[in-house]
Amino acid sequence: MYIKQSIEQLAPYVPGIQPQMDGHVIKINANENPYPPSPQVQQLLSGFDFAQLRYYPDATSQRLRKLIAAHYQLSSDHLFCGNGSDEIISYLFQVCFEEQDTIATPYPTYTLYKTIADIHRVHTVYVPTRDDFTIDTQALAQTGAKGLFIANPNAQTGLLLSLTEIEELLKQYDGLVVIDEAYIEFAPATASACELVARYPNLVVLRTFSKSYSLCGIRVGYSLANPVLVHALDKCRDSYNVSHLSQLLAEAAFEDQAYLQSTVKKIVATRERVTAALTDLGFEVLPSEANFVLCKPVHGSAIDIYEFLKARHVYVRYFDSPRLSDKLRITIGTDAEMDVLLKYLHEFT
């Protein structure tokens, strides 16, 4: 009775199953990284002075902002840090959209954009991807929406939009363009839109420590955007939105770019091997540039395979939505985990 009608009607975001992790479980349903974070992170934690936790954290994550900004050759007023990139998505709705405004996003994509839009009573126009699941940027621009949310590589498909296509879009569309690069480190280095931020004031690039840095547990994401927008985000954020430990651990991970590159390289090599092996087993597999693959079985149905794997403690993701029906999304794990998966898939077929 105290709850707004718009919230009561809301369909909440549904994450993948979080099974109790023990030695037998293979969890490849949430695009988590199978490797531990940088050893620098562990070192920092073991030498950590816990008395520091009685102080509030740096409210603006200044050191982290400076560190990341320098990496992209930007001034730190282009940088904003959030409690996961999900939090930044929420702030973007607070800052940029009025009730009854419209955003457009491809379909399928990360469903949280619509969930947060609904919370803010902003309409979502889904623009279907083409038959081959590529994103139609022209159609997105032509919706006349006030803002576009594009995950690149796209969530669920792993397909990548080229930088040329993104720049073409920015040339013709002057609403807010959010390019969510949660998985970009698994794509070729030239694919990121970060270098366009200084030139296009309507562009926001979202990044996260959750995937390539193996740190989804600390919840840190960041955005690169023009300083006016960053200032507006700062007005809306929780007073101490990123915890002290999270800031320190993210700094340590970011400084260890060599470790990041080495784990990303392993995951990309495993992804290519798994794509080939799944194809050999008769699956149709989309050519992913992320740390997961979307695939459709030719023998049997996706839901049966999902249940078969789950009974063997292997958790993959099954989506029950029109464009994704009869498909499985499989996160790339270690080579050993993928061998177990492939063995079970072989048994199933």
Binding site residues, ligand PMP, CB under 6 A = 84-86, 110, 151, 155, 180, 182, 208, 210, 216, 221
Distance CA 22, CA 337 (A): 14
User: 290 vs 345, which CB is nearer to ligand PMP?
Assistant: 290
User: 215 vs 345, which CB is nearer to ligand PMP?
Assistant: 215
Which phi and psi (to 5°) does residue 129 adopt? Answer: -70, 165
User: 205 vs 345, which CB is nearer to ligand PMP?
Assistant: 205
User: 84 vs 333, which CB is nearer to ligand PMP?
Assistant: 84
Tell the smallest beta-carbon distance from residue 147 to ligand PMP (Å): 15
Tell the smallest beta-carbon distance from residue 210 to ligand PMP (Å): 3
Kindly give, in sequence order, each residue whose CB lies less than 8 Å from that of residue 201, ignoring residues fewer than 6 positions away.
226, 228, 229
Tell the smallest beta-carbon distance from residue 294 to ligand PMP (Å): 13
Instruction: Extract the tokens encoding 154.
Output: 């796209």
User: 315 vs 344, which CB is nearer to ligand PMP?
Assistant: 315
Tell the smallest beta-carbon distance from residue 182 to ligand PMP (Å): 4
Distance CA 243, CA 305 (A): 40
User: 93 vs 344, which CB is nearer to ligand PMP?
Assistant: 93
Tell the smallest beta-carbon distance from residue 317 to ligand PMP (Å): 11
User: 85 vs 247, which CB is nearer to ligand PMP?
Assistant: 85
Tell the smallest beta-carbon distance from residue 4 to ligand PMP (Å): 25
Q: Using CB positions, name the residue nearest to ligand PMP.
A: 84
Tell the smallest beta-carbon distance from residue 221 to ligand PMP (Å): 4
Which DSSP string corresponds to 251-299? HHHHH-HHHHHHHHHHHHHHHHHHHHHHHHTT-EE---SSSEEEEE-SS
User: 246 vs 270, which CB is nearer to ligand PMP?
Assistant: 246
Which DSSP string corresponds to 188-235? -GGG-SGGGTTT-TTEEEEEESSSTTS-GGG--EEEE--HHHHHHHHH
Which residues are registered as beta bridge partners of 123?
A: 102
Distance CA 31, CA 23 (A): 19
Which residues are registered as beta bridge partners of 150?
A: 179
Q: Residue 153: is the preceding peptide bond cis (ω within 30°)?
A: yes
For 304, the 3-state DSSP assignment is helix
Tell the smallest beta-carbon distance from residue 70 to ligand PMP (Å): 21
| Class of residue 238 by CB neighbours under 10 A (exposed 0-12, middle 13-18, buried 19+) | exposed
CA quadruple 12, 16, 19, 21: dihedral sign:
negative
